[in-house]
Structure 1
């Protein structure tokens, strides 16, 4: 098992510092282009050790709420930090803007993550102060972009991607057609496919329709096995949780991050893999935080492959259906469960049951569980919700 999820074939659009010219937004009216340019932002998030990312975002509410990808502001996989944690422990991101296509983006504001979901790879940031630390007045209104009703979207529709790719400081626009929908096992739209070009740094930005409404968030590029050309993938706005939109309308300032689930001790934890990452019939990875108790034995239903990964991305131990966590193991461990391709689960959502029990074979509290390496009878089964 790799320390990176097979979902890594979806190339995360993180930052590469380079230079690219600005492009023209053909087929958009001048008023729509002007509004989109002013509502697009560049987001920079850095931690104390220099780790972080730069990406793009869209102001979707005039009070300064910015929609972006989680991987622009936080860790999504072991390798550079604990999955589900923010790059900056003080929860600050820097916001740069432009007012016209010829202007160089300048850092003007500081934002704070108020909502985030690692599995959706979405985050909602609120602009809270200028770059001198002065709080944004409550009456301040920012240029914003409306959300589209993606139920009206059809393959062949013209789409426009706005963002700050490759570390450029002027706005960049590409255009293309909507290629199709990619559904998960709940028949939800997991992704919108397009041939509008995405580059590193477009993550979290805008994918607009001709009326200037936000259709989706550029998130990843599918490449590699089975693809002749890269496929640009964007998370549709219909997947934004309703609670986020309700809270935004109320002017929410509290922080709520849906990160990696924490497994309870000696209790069965139920989860469900709906296949957003595996929508292309490829495997994906789910991550879980382990209880602090040591030693532990972890059992997983359906005989799924499991592994222990450090926050530096090293695979410490792996098994099928079960594994042990020893007292001598590092504290910074994440449990990874490999979810098989959708075709292997019968096309439905996969029910997963996980139990983390204190103790080891032959020690008190082990409760007669099978010895390490012994087969575990599958207790879960593919099902259609």
Structure 2
């Protein structure tokens, strides 16, 4: 049996959860390429990096004294850098509810071999009991579980008078969710997520408390050069003023600056957050109207508004056929669930995705479901 295809297709079928869709109206020919072929350590190179750093701090409305740095190897590199540089002097509470957080747990226990580690975890679709976080311990968690579609509701579980540091992997949350910066001592993200930038670079945001740890504690293990945040027992301030640890792609930096300028033009981070929430509302309405599709998140308050994960009342093989149908029709690319997650869909709803494209996609989901069920 064949079903009538919907009339309209999304203008942009890119719904991948990373790298994510480029911003609306993106034109690579509009990038400032004046730094290409120049040293990143030249005056113009450093000034370009510094502007990206200062604009990040300004748009995110970071508290005074917070530092922003551009580091190698995407969000993974940023997280590994801070874990290898900071962990060791206190017990560690690792909170996870999906594959990436579980990966940080593996690195802490198997690579750094820290002995006093407390797992606070939950299965896909759920949040663990975050009240178990001990303010005396260092705490590591993802703000938004990209592979589970589950985010923390707020930062209330983090004590204001904590003794340990909070280390937050926020790669699919920054610029899309309200971040209580005073609660976060280390925040990492990669600009190819919410801003649709190019890969290979990470961002670290450090509170003043982190500098105190770095300058008073030396890890017992060797630190690779790209992980080093101190020299001679002092914080390397150049990392946070544009003197990167290794050579960055200035083309990627220009691409990031383009995304930052776009965020400014749309009204800042509050507008970016609102746009992402409006995108989620399109999916929420569709899920409410159809009994064969469900959010993986067990309750609305923890449902991600960026990496939206969905389960279908279909077998694994039919879900694969469902995804292939939409890709073949050039309606939706890269919307399958992450390989370690339960079988289903993952549709990116960050602010670089247009609401009109999601609205155009919804009838196609119904068509694909009917087609594979026939």
The answer to whether the superposition gives a TM-score over 0.5 is: no
More helix by share: 2
Larger RCO, structures 1/2 (Cα 8 Å, 6+ apart) = 2
Calculate the TM-score normalised by the size of structure 2.
Answer: 0.29
More strand by share: 1
Calculate the TM-score normalised by the size of structure 1.
Answer: 0.28
